Amino acid sequence: GNSVTQMEGPVTLSEEAFLTINCTYTATGYPSLFWYVQYPGEGLQLLLKATKADDKGSNKGFEATYRKETTSFHLEKGSVQVSDSAVYFCALRERTQGGSEKLVFGKGTKLTVNP
Amino acid sequence: GAVVSQHPSRVICKSGTSVKIECRSLDFQATTMFWYRQFPKQSLMLMATSNEGSKATYEQGVEKDKFLINHASLTLSTLTVTSAHPEDSSFYICSARSLGGGYTFGSGTRLTVV
């Protein structure tokens, strides 16, 4: 079946540092790809998405490009802030033959940004 | 924006009792709701998918008689953990999909069975 692999954390950075969280996927076809963020004590929130190859999703200074050649969707931010501390999940949307769909998640990467 | 309310946020119950978790879409109709279980340092594992008015579809390995899912309306789904045991202790998260196709997640329920 489809799967998502993302770099294991935790990741600890200083404020204004550059962030990369790697994500690769295994899937048949070209699924839509997502990054979700989970702040402490809260549910998951959609951070950004890309629905086809070479699409770039962006939001709040974060970016990720859908690379079909490398089956990757790495998350980047040029200058992180303390408020970016959270757990980040990479996910793909899988459609079944029956017509239903579901999200398949990576294990999550915890990011801590220190002042 | 779309909001999903999940409660309780935390619950402690005795082994052998049942616990119900509610998930409500507050400002949209959820055609489909999903229930996930999240283990420490693990990903979200999909337990079941439910469509309003029909039986839930459970993922392989999930006991449908233990994890009862009801999706009686377009705004409410419930997960009941029956005869809970310590190994059922976990973080449970619901997600609702709107007609537009977007997913909105609840804030999760921390279940501890003692």
pLDDT in tens, A26-41: 998 889 999 999 988 7
pLDDT at B40: 76
Q: How far is B37 from chain A (nearest CA, A)?
A: 12
Phi, psi at A37, each rounded to 5°: -125, 140
DSSP state of A78: S
Between residues B43 and B107, which one has the greater pLDDT? B107
Question: Quick check: B44 pLDDT over 90?
Answer: no
Give the pLDDT band of residue A97 (cuts 50, 70, 90): low
Between residues A4 and B42, which one has the greater pLDDT? A4
Task: Tell me what the pLDDT averaged over chain B comes to.
Answer: 91
Q: Is A53 helix (H, G, I), strand (E, B) or coil?
A: coil
Q: Do B105 and A100 make contact, defined as CB atoms within 8 angstroms? A: no
Q: For residues B73-78, give the mean pLDDT.
A: 91
Q: Are strands A62-65 and A75-77 parallel, antiparallel or unpaired?
A: antiparallel
- Percent over 90 (pLDDT), chain A: 79
- Percent over 70 (pLDDT), chain B: 100
Q: Do B95 and A42 make contact, defined as CB atoms within 8 angstroms? A: no
Q: Which two tokens stand for residue B70?
A: 């009801």
pLDDT at A42: 79
Question: Quick check: A98 pLDDT over 70?
Answer: no
Distance CA B20, CA A4 (A): 31
Between residues B22 and B73, which one has the greater pLDDT? B22
Question: Quick check: B98 pLDDT over 90?
Answer: no
Q: Do A107 and B43 make contact, defined as CB atoms within 8 angstroms? A: yes
Closest CA to B50 of B26, B79, B25: B79
Beta-carbon contacts of B65 under 8 Å, excluding residues fewer than 6 positions away, are B82
B27-43 residue pLDDT tens: 888 889 999 998 877 78
Q: How far is B5 from chain A (nearest CA, A)?
A: 10
DSSP state of B51: E
Residues of chain A in contact with residue B105, where contact means CB-CB under 8 angstroms, are: 36, 43-45
Give the pLDDT band of residue A23 (cuts 50, 70, 90): very high
Half-sphere exposure of B63 (CA within 13 A, CB side): 9
Q: Do A44 and B95 make contact, defined as CB atoms within 8 angstroms? A: yes
